[in-house]
Every structure is written in C-alpha cells, then in structure tokens.
Amino acid sequence: MPLVSSRELLLAAQRGGYAIGAFNAENMEMVQAIIEAADEMNAPVLVQTTSGTLKYAPPSVFGGFVSRLARDVKVPVALHLDHGNSLILAEKCAREGYTSLMIDGSLLPFNSNVTLTRSVVAMACDIPVEAELGTVGGKEDDHDAKPQYTDPAEAADFVARTGISSFAVAIGTAHGIYKGIPKLDIERLSEIRKVVSVPLVLHGTSGVPADQVRACIERGICKVNYATELRITFSDAVKSYITTKPDNFDPKKYLSAGRDAVKARVIELIRLCGSDGKAGA
C-alpha cells in the first residue's frame, strides 16, 4: 500500500497499549528486511533514516525505494526522518514523500528548541512532527551529548507550545552501545504521561532489557526506536559471510546475509513491542 502517516499508527498504538517498532535503515537491504519482517508479522512499521544516513544517500533515494517496496505489502509503512537537524532537511524530506518528521533541537536552550520545532510543524502542515526535550545521551551520527532527563513540567509546556504530534522522552536511554545495563527512570515516564497527551517515543532502545521496554510501553510509550542494534546485526552477518566464504566476490550474497539477519531481529523486536497482528488496528 502507499506510505501512510505515522500519526494514525501511533494513536492506534496509544489506544491499544502497544508500541510501533521504528527501525533505522542504512541501505536498501535493511529497508527490505524491515518491510518484509513487518509484512510477515502483520505489523505496522516505521522505516527511519537519520541526518547522517541522508548524507550517504539523499531523501529522494530513500523516499523512492521505501515507497516502492511499501506498495508491495498490505501492512502500513511510514517513512520517518529521525533526528532531523534542520528545517531545510525536514523540508527536503517532506518534498520527497516522507510521511513523518523528527526535528531534534534537544541541545538548544528551551525557547530555541520551541522556536525551531514550531517552524517545522508549520512547514509540515499535515505531516506529523516528533520532537525531543531533555537529551538522550550517547552518539547518533554527529549528535553526541550527555544525558539530561526530561522535566515533566517543561514537557507539558513544550508540547502545548509546539503543537507536535509525538514526544521523545529522555529517561535514561542512550544512543550507541551501552557500557553497562541501562536503568530507566520509569517513574519519570509515568509523570510525563500524566501531563502529556500525545504519543510518547523511546529513543536509544538498542540494548535495553526486554522487561524495561515492556514497562515503558505499559506507561505510554507508543514508538520504540532501534538503530545501533540493527547496524551491528547487519555488519556481523556480512563479516561472518565474508570470513567463511572469502572467495565470494558477489555483493548480493553477503548483503543478503545481512538482510536476513536484520529481518530475523526485527521480527523479534516487533513481538517485543506488541505490534504483531496489529496492521488492521
């Protein structure tokens, strides 16, 4: 089917008490894996690209092949800009068919974050916009920051002033690889849920234990992002193929190994999010 807006997907998840898996893709094979996994699990899904990924291939390229692959399946697929770093990039993605946008002004002072976010919401018109307050720590592309937890009172003000469709919280997750077992501030999430009505988003979920992910979903998280974990899964599978078959020179074969590994992991994460079987919700 044609690409769909993320707004309806996340609102359905909010009503149903589950989350939509939002998976970052770096190339065509990872997009294939994500969409095939969602189709097999009858699950709605978001395919995401970061600002860094869009330096590797522009929004026109990802918009083209994601929309084409989505047409071959019956499950709803949204294409999302993850950690958009400027109004200009958000505009490019909107023009090239992205159906969901994130603008990340979390490193800016509060009022500057509000101003930037409002500019993207105004530009986007009917395209839903996600934004972040507080800072998810770690490194995502060129975005490298120390964690700063979301203040619930500021969160309510931020959402009201910006008009965003979904809100990314900072409760102890981090981008990249965790050095230890993360411990999330679940009670803070509950406090944010009390004062923010739009769907909540969890970033930096790669490596977060399954029980903590489930606890977050129970407390209002409607979108769960996975990036680093899929990059590692893809790369490990390609390395293993090349190591065991060093005489192969056909990229289709080792890239297919990466695609198969990512698909298997995405299926597991869709089950964790509870979105399997929810394509018609």
Divide the 281 residues of the chain into consecutive groups of 10 and give the mean pLDDT of each group.
Answer: 96 98 98 98 98 96 97 97 97 98 95 98 97 70 66 96 97 68 89 97 91 96 96 97 95 97 98 96 70
CA dist list (Å): 235 to 26, 47, 232, 254? 11, 19, 5, 10
The span from the CA of 21 to the CA of 215, in Å, is 15
Amino acid 207: pLDDT: 85
Amino acid 103: pLDDT: 97
Amino acid 174: pLDDT: 72
Amino acid 17: pLDDT: 97
Amino acid 18: pLDDT: 98
Amino acid 181: pLDDT: 74
DSSP state of 178: -
Longest dimension (CA), the chain: 59
For the stretch 118-124, contacts whose Cβ atoms lie closer than 8 Å and that sit 24 or more positions apart, written own/partner, are 118/161, 118/162, 118/163, 119/87, 120/84, 120/87, 120/90, 121/162, 121/163, 121/164, 123/87, 123/90, 123/91, 123/94, 124/90, 124/94
Amino acid 176: pLDDT: 62
- Give the domains, in start order, of the chain with CATH numbers: 6-273 (3.20.20.70)
DSSP state of 199: P
| Active-site residue flag, 82 | yes
**Whole-prediction pTM:** 0.93
Amino acid 206: pLDDT: 86
Choosing from 39, 72, 82, 157, the catalytic residue is: 82
The span from the CA of 144 to the CA of 26, in Å, is 19
The residue type of 196 is V
